[in-house]
A = this chain, B = another copy of it.
Amino acid sequence: MTSSSNAAESIPAFRRFSFSLRDAGTLIGLIVIMAVFAALVPGFLSERNLVNILQQSSINACLALGMTLVIISGGIDLSVGPMAAISAVITATLLLAGTPIPLAILAGLGVGIVCGFINGALVAYVGLQPFIVTLGTLSTYRAIALIYTGGNPVLGIPSGLRSLFNGNLFGVPTPVIIVAVVAIAAWILLKKTPIGEYLMAVGGNEEAAYVAGVPIARTKITAYVISGGLAALASLILIGRLGAAEPILGNLWELDAIAAAAIGGASLMGGKGSILGTILGAIILGAMRNGLTLMNVQAFYQLLATGLIILAAMIIDRATRGRG
């Protein structure tokens, strides 16, 4: 992607391990940020705060995993927030109407999957650009959530669901466990299954994939469906935490999710991305927010720091990978 495409080319042995090297770069970025905050904020490295950071990163990580798959397939999904909102409000209203929890959860996930399917179908069958499709559904899905609830939050989520998505297991918050499981599943999907290869192939060279007989449409749709499903899962974690489902929930989630994936090494040109990197990227963003809050940085300066840290993380990562 740089003018030094030559440099990249002359280091093939490099490329062979590039995935893990790229992840190492992200890890170094994370370590640097953690070190800086640890020096500035007493208690930043306390176990409790670290668990906190993981918990607060879990929703973004969940979305970012789906986003990573979509990005690898050569697409982008701007509609994650509104998809999450729709499934949150539907799950919540079902629960309030007395639907058993497992059924309501399934319904919520199903809604996310359907929304994702619509995105995927518009991209794969109608042949529209992913950015513009999900920009369109970003508005459409949000409007549906608002109209469905009349703009009001749905309060009074039963404690059964709340403890499921906001409890602890052996001292680890359940959202963290859920996301870890999802991450492992995503890693297996990407690295070990034919679908993972198809995703890489479709994003890396669609023509070659087509000629090789890869089911292009099905593959793309799969990515968007997973993204929709994970957005729904993220919304369940959130309503578990907040005890309320708002139709405006998930505003600007897409930017955080894309940032996490990109920091983690996903290329928005497609064909490239790392599950581990994305998780690290989400934690970088989470640690940053946490640290800035603990430092009580004033709003304007917090915004400044957010921007600069994103840039710094990318530059550190670029430098450690040995630019050329």
12 A/B residue pairs, CB under 8 Å, sorted by A: A1-B74, A3-B124, A4-B127, A5-B206, A127-B323, A128-B315, A131-B258, A131-B268, A139-B303, A141-B307, A143-B301, A147-B300
In the bound complex, residues from chain B placing their C-beta under 8 Å from that of A147 are 300-301, 304
In the bound complex, residues from chain B placing their C-beta under 8 Å from that of A217 are 3
In the bound complex, residues from chain B placing their C-beta under 8 Å from that of A27 are none
Please determine whether A210 and B310 come into contact, CB atoms closer than 8 angstroms: no
* Other 5 A-B pairs with CB < 8 A, given A3-B216, A139-B306, A151-B300: A1-B129, A3-B125, A132-B262, A132-B263, A141-B307
In the bound complex, residues from chain B placing their C-beta under 8 Å from that of A129 are 1, 262, 267-268, 314
Please determine whether A310 and B127 come into contact, CB atoms closer than 8 angstroms: no
Answer yes or no: A113 CB below 8 A from chain B CBs. Answer: no
In the bound complex, residues from chain B placing their C-beta under 8 Å from that of A220 are 3
* Bound CA–CA A210/B137 (angstroms): 37
Please determine whether B310 and A135 come into contact, CB atoms closer than 8 angstroms: yes
Answer yes or no: A136 CB below 8 A from chain B CBs. Answer: yes
Please determine whether B140 and A308 come into contact, CB atoms closer than 8 angstroms: yes
Known interface pairs A127-B318, A129-B267, A132-B263. Does A207 touch B5 (Cβ–Cβ under 8 Å)?
A: yes
Which A residues between 107 and 163 are near B, CB-CB below 8 angstroms? 122, 124-133, 135-144, 146-147, 151
Question: What is the minimal beta-carbon distance from A16 to any residue of chain B, in angstroms?
Answer: 20
Answer yes or no: A296 CB below 8 A from chain B CBs. Answer: no
* Bound CA–CA A267/B307 (angstroms): 27
CB closest chain-B residue, reference A3: B216
Please determine whether A5 and B210 come into contact, CB atoms closer than 8 angstroms: yes
Answer yes or no: A31 CB below 8 A from chain B CBs. Answer: no
Known interface pairs A132-B263, A132-B314. Does A140 touch B307 (Cβ–Cβ under 8 Å)?
A: yes
Question: What is the minimal beta-carbon distance from A307 to any residue of chain B, in angstroms?
Answer: 3
CB closest chain-B residue, reference A310: B136
Interface of A is mostly: helix
- Copies of this protein in the complex: 2
Answer yes or no: A172 CB below 8 A from chain B CBs. Answer: no
In the bound complex, residues from chain B placing their C-beta under 8 Å from that of A3 are 124-125, 127, 210, 216-217, 220
Answer yes or no: A259 CB below 8 A from chain B CBs. Answer: yes
Please determine whether A126 and B301 come into contact, CB atoms closer than 8 angstroms: no
In the bound complex, residues from chain B placing their C-beta under 8 Å from that of A74 are 1
Answer yes or no: A255 CB below 8 A from chain B CBs. Answer: yes
Which A residues between 293 and 324 are near B, CB-CB below 8 angstroms? 299-301, 303-304, 306-308, 310-311, 314-315, 318, 323
Across the A-B interface, give the 5 residue pairs with the lowest CB-CB distance, nearest first: A139-B307, A140-B307, A2-B127, A143-B304, A3-B216
